[in-house]
Amino acid sequence: MEKPSLWISRRLSAKTEARACRDYNVILNEDDRLSDSSAIIEMSGKVDAILPCHSEIFDARVIEKLDSRLKVIANHSVGTDHCDLEAFKKKGIVVTNTPDVLSDATAEIAMLLLLGAARRASEGDRMVRDGQWNTWSPSFMVGHQVTGKRLGIIGMGKVGQVMARRARGFDMEVHYFNRTQLSKDLEYNAVYHGSLESLLSVSDIVTLHCPATPSTRGIINATTLAQLRDGAILVNTARGALIDESALIGAIESGKLSAAGLDCFATEPGGNPEFSKHKNIFMLPHIGSATFETRDAMGFRALDNLDAFFAGKEPRDRVA
């Protein structure tokens, strides 16, 4: 039997590509360049499956023009906000994602951002690298201690739950807001809040771990930022669309936020140039899941879903 044909839209881990090439007729993106909508539409007529990342946008316009040969999209991501799932359903194309396997890595980056923002890591690193560290006193580079602080988690899914466990190592008091309250064994003694306003009003640090959906886009805005305690810290490792970036800058400039740690932005790649003007915004280039172990796990999970589909079985992680 002839192997199914597969287009892998970006360079993945070596182990993932080796396994894919073993089991499929693979077209690789050797240059690792971002593919625009016309390239995606063109490739859909050449393959049975596409293994894309969140960088490839499948909106309704693109999906409508996809070739009938294409049968399945196996996303190399847990988030599916780059996909119009309803349009895929109407088109009859199966869509999967890669949940669970990136939770630890993303929570690690969230903790890095939390600590970096609180302890002025970006400012200190730049000072030493630029040869500007020429003084010291007890008032020098004073930041915020996180031990014992109240951490507010927005979105208590897999990543949020890992973050709650990690925060316990810093003796933090964990609170969370979620669509529904979790069972006691998944709460890790965190305090549930039935409203976002309730959570924000008690949190010293807020970290975002929810997907970008119509109901959560812009969830952090001028109104919700005003509900925070003065001098709070905001961390985002989820999606840039969750934050109104103009409102965030306003909160930084007013002192409502003492610092922010961001791994994702409304515009990617590139981020927001205005953020660079503020020393108390600690930034990373969307690398929350970027560990060798996690990249292998994500790639294998996507391939597991493809294997199931072409074996006539229901993919484990089907979302459309």
Cβ neighbourhood burial of 202 (10 Å; 0-12, 13-18, 19+): middle
Alpha-carbon span 97 to 289, nearest angstrom: 14
Work out the angle between the directed axes of helices 121-129 and 103-118 (0-180°, nearest 10): 70
Shortest CA distance to 117 belongs to which of 248, 301, 295, 211?
A: 248
Candidate list 76, 286, 295, 301, residue with the active-site label: 286
> Would you say 175 and 167 are in contact if contact means Cβ atoms under 8 Å apart?
no
- Residue 295 amino acid letter: R
For the chain, how are helix, strand and coil distributed in percent, rounded to 5? 35, 15, 45
Candidate list 76, 150, 166, 239, residue with the active-site label: 239
- Is residue 286 part of the annotated active site? The answer reads yes
Q: What values do phi and psi take at 165, rounded to 5? A: -65, -40
Alpha-carbon span 121 to 110, nearest angstrom: 14
What residue has token string 């390239």?
39
What residue has token string 């999606």?
239
- Is residue 239 part of the annotated active site? The answer reads yes
Alpha-carbon span 65 to 69, nearest angstrom: 12
Candidate list 86, 197, 268, 274, residue with the active-site label: 268
| Catalytic (active-site) positions | 239, 268, 286
